[in-house]
Structure 1
Amino acid sequence: MKWVTQTVGRVPRADYRKAQEDFAHFAKAAKFRRLAIFRFNDAQESDEELQRRIWGIIAGLKHGDLLIHQYPTWNSKRYEDMFQREASYKGVTMGAYIQQLPALSNERFEADFPLEILFRYDFLIAHTEKMREKLQELGYEKLIFVSSFADYVQDYPIRPKKFLRQVVYFGDIGMKPKFLSWSNTTMLKVLGPNHSELSKSDSVKFGANPNLSVVSTYLEGGFGFLERDSRKTDDYAAMSFHDKLSLFLSAGMPVIVYDDFAYAEFIVENKLGFAISQISEIDEKIAQIDEENYAEFLKNVSYFGELMRTGFFTGKLLQQLEGLDFFDLVEGRPQLGF
């Protein structure tokens, strides 16, 4: 039997919750069963109470099963530790699909999300080759797969895109001076809370403030902008998957990324958008694009977005797992045998 975990409930961010939902959705199409993990505060529970809770979640696991755990659950360190141990006692082979790596994204998370727990898994699935190399550098010696891209479920029809000389940002710019003082003449359209009273630029336009599930219906044209996350280090940005990349590409929207982002080279080579080293370059880049150029971007993104919406990359990843002999029983415990 094949299983995949999914954290449900109050996940810290909507895009983190969406990423887990979508991976579980496409894994289900590949005959994986879902294990729902609720996010909650376990501070008032004893070890015995927490253990019984986890036993209920993993009751269906059997010796020889394959479990892909979407890491992290966003529960406590104690929960992550106990979940891994209790599931492994049942004789399953466990891999961790890394949705986020808090310990590497910001040093203040290292204590709550120690790599020691993650490194106990039988194999890992990383975002990029750079992330794989980093994990190996940090001491992980077992197999690490690399997921090409994160697929994305779109619940609404994809709108045809117009040739518009604008950049679209989805999020809150209230604490982002570079956006509030946008110096480009290219319009910045913000889909998020309206901070027009703080904006110092005539080139900033506030649109709707949609929730994540309907953002694609507000994307008319132009380029989606993937900004740096101030809560994460630049090194992490260079090895991880940007949360909004799948959102824009699956919605048929070309993107603008920083040239040190993990997927920047791929995006430029496949004409899914363009890369910049700083925001001031946007005007020059946009000025070089005409309707014919934009149509080529749309053609490429349309093809790529269809792959993401149908789970192509998840299916490709899971096929790699299907083709491997995971179980070489040694002393009654399943060992990876490649």
Structure 2
Amino acid sequence: MNYYLKEIKPVNSRSNKTGGAKIRDDVEKILSKQNFTSITLPNIPRLGNIDYISISLLNHYRVKRLWQKKMAFLKEGDNLVIQFPLIIQHSVFLKRVLKSLTRKKIKIILIIHDLESLRVTKRRDISVLKQFILNKEEKLFLKYAFKIIVHNSTMERYLIKQGFEKQRLISIEIFDYLISNFDIKKFKNRKISKDQPIIIAGTLRYHKASYIYHLPSDVKFNLYGVGYDEKIQQSNVNYNGAFSPEELPYRLNGSYGLVWDGDSTYSCTGIYGNYLRINDPHKLSLYLVAGLPVIIWKGAAQADFVRKNGCGLIIDSLDDLKKLKDSISEKDYLLMKKRALKISLELLNGCNLKKIIESLN
């Protein structure tokens, strides 16, 4: 039998106008359509102050007991899909659970959304204890997984260097993007053309995307997302507000979707900028599902995907945007748009994850 772990998110843990939960929800919908049954893990409210060690350990123990109870019925030959990182990060005692599952010859299929060892644990505001727990959790789940679904070939090579066998790793290349009750009329109503502004969508908070406050002045931009400080908005920037992940594709008006992150417009720098070297940013899926050609940093892992599929442009510095944008003919732009629309159909139908799941059966 095939199962997937469904973690119930804590109340108000995520804004409904960010994409953080979108990718997990889409995975669950695709798995359900592939006849996977959910094993629901309810949110366990924390006891006391998490910084108080004895209470913290008790929270971790309660999570372990919940996992044991919920998974006791699994038997040899069953498949269990787990999305990683976990939403509820109380995993200190989960080694015993994972070990027990593998001993029973239950196959754990891990879908990687983020490698926190390369992202969160690099932040200065993260305590040493939390860094230790996150790193330990990551190694633990990777160790006991039968198969690991990674973002791309770059992430695959990174994990091989970390000692994980190539045959355990499967690259998804790009994550799907489902839209419930897709409305083709709303989709066609947008202004998508070569001469429209460049789109930047996603989390616009300063700590993640401070480059947006230093954008080149010779190109116009349309911004969408949470956390933007309109007090320091440039004259060539139009902020359009934040929308739910399923509404956002209908709202994107522009020429290209920009895949960029970090502190600088010269290159993708800082923790989040460098993270683009290995991960699949969900905003790439967002732009392509919206039928938009993209512009992506040349150092990003997904630059290979864009190049291979001919659905956008590769750029070194944002200072080159105007020159690059002006160099593209109308014919070439329409061809990139056509290719983006072709990929859009695949993402809307969950084709990428479906293909992997079918190959495992």
Q: TM-score, normalised by structure 1?
A: 0.85
8 Å contact from structure 1 (residues 6, 21) kept in 2? no
- Pairwise CA distance, 1:252: 1.3
Partner Cα distance (1:47, 1:180) in 2: 41
Asked if 1:186 is matched to 2:219, the reply is: yes
Determine which of 28, 31, 36 is the counterpart of 2:35: 31
Asked if 1:212 is matched to 2:254, the reply is: no
SS at match of 1:222: coil
Partner Cα distance (1:116, 1:195) in 2: 37
Residue type at the aligned position of 1:7: E
Cα RMSD (Å)? 2.6
Residue type at the aligned position of 2:192: K
- Pairwise CA distance, 1:6: 3.2
Partner Cα distance (1:136, 1:174) in 2: 33
Determine which of 117, 129, 132 is the counterpart of 2:156: 132
SS at match of 2:92: helix
SS at match of 1:252: coil
Which residue in the other structure is 1:121 paired with? Answer: 145
- Structure 1 residues 254 and 135: alpha-carbon distance in aligned structure 2, compared to 1, 3 A threshold: same
Which residue in the other structure is 1:195 paired with? Answer: 229
SS at match of 2:232: coil
Residue type at the aligned position of 1:112: I
Partner Cα distance (1:306, 1:206) in 2: 28
Determine which of 75, 81, 88 is the counterpart of 1:68: 81
Q: Which of 35-44 and 277-286 deviates more?
A: 35-44
Which residue in the other structure is 2:132 paired with? Answer: 111
Partner Cα distance (1:31, 1:317) in 2: 14
**How do 1:231-310 and structure 2 match up within 5 A?**
232=271, 234-310=273-349
SS at match of 2:331: helix
Residue type at the aligned position of 1:169: I
Structure with more helix by fraction: 2
- Structure 1 residues 234 and 219: alpha-carbon distance in aligned structure 2, compared to 1, 3 A threshold: closer
- Pairwise CA distance, 1:233: 5.2
Determine which of 143, 163, 166 is the counterpart of 2:197: 166
- Pairwise CA distance, 1:100: 1.0
Deviations 1:130-156 (A, max 9, x none): 211211211223621111221111134
Q: Which of 267-276 and 45-54 deviates more?
A: 45-54
Partner Cα distance (1:174, 1:100) in 2: 19
SS at match of 1:212: coil
Partner Cα distance (2:346, 2:237) in 1: 33
Partner Cα distance (1:174, 1:50) in 2: 32
Count of residue correspondences: 321
- Pairwise CA distance, 1:172: 4.8
- Pairwise CA distance, 1:235: 4.7
Residue type at the aligned position of 1:151: D
Which residue in the other structure is 2:6 paired with? Answer: 6
Which residue in the other structure is 2:259 paired with? Answer: 226
Partner Cα distance (2:205, 2:97) in 1: 38
**How do 1:151-162 and structure 2 match up within 5 A?**
151-155=176-180, 156-158=182-184, 159-160=187-188, 161-162=191-192
Which residue in the other structure is 2:169 paired with? Answer: 144
**How do 1:84-99 and structure 2 match up within 5 A?**
84-88=98-102, 90-99=104-113
Q: Which of 265-274 and 106-115 deviates more?
A: 106-115
Partner Cα distance (2:315, 2:360) in 1: 36
- Structure 1 residues 180 and 41: alpha-carbon distance in aligned structure 2, compared to 1, 3 A threshold: same
8 Å contact from structure 1 (residues 72, 98) kept in 2? yes
Q: Which of 175-184 and 93-102 deviates more?
A: 175-184
Residue identity over aligned pairs, in percent, reads: 18
- Structure 1 residues 37 and 225: alpha-carbon distance in aligned structure 2, compared to 1, 3 A threshold: farther
Which residue in the other structure is 1:329 paired with? Answer: none
- Pairwise CA distance, 1:87: 3.5
Determine which of 18, 23, 27 is the counterpart of 1:19: 23
Partner Cα distance (1:70, 1:241) in 2: 15
Residue type at the aligned position of 2:183: P
Q: TM-score, normalised by structure 2?
A: 0.80
8 Å contact from structure 2 (residues 310, 339) kept in 1? yes
Residue type at the aligned position of 2:276: A
8 Å contact from structure 1 (residues 168, 189) kept in 2? yes
Partner Cα distance (1:315, 1:206) in 2: 36
- Pairwise CA distance, 1:26: 1.1
Which residue in the other structure is 2:127 paired with? Answer: none
Partner Cα distance (1:229, 1:213) in 2: 25
8 Å contact from structure 2 (residues 102, 144) kept in 1? no
Structure 2: 5+ residue runs without aligned partners? 48-54, 123-129, 264-269
8 Å contact from structure 1 (residues 106, 233) kept in 2? no
Residue type at the aligned position of 2:218: T
Residue type at the aligned position of 2:246: S
Partner Cα distance (1:12, 1:135) in 2: 29
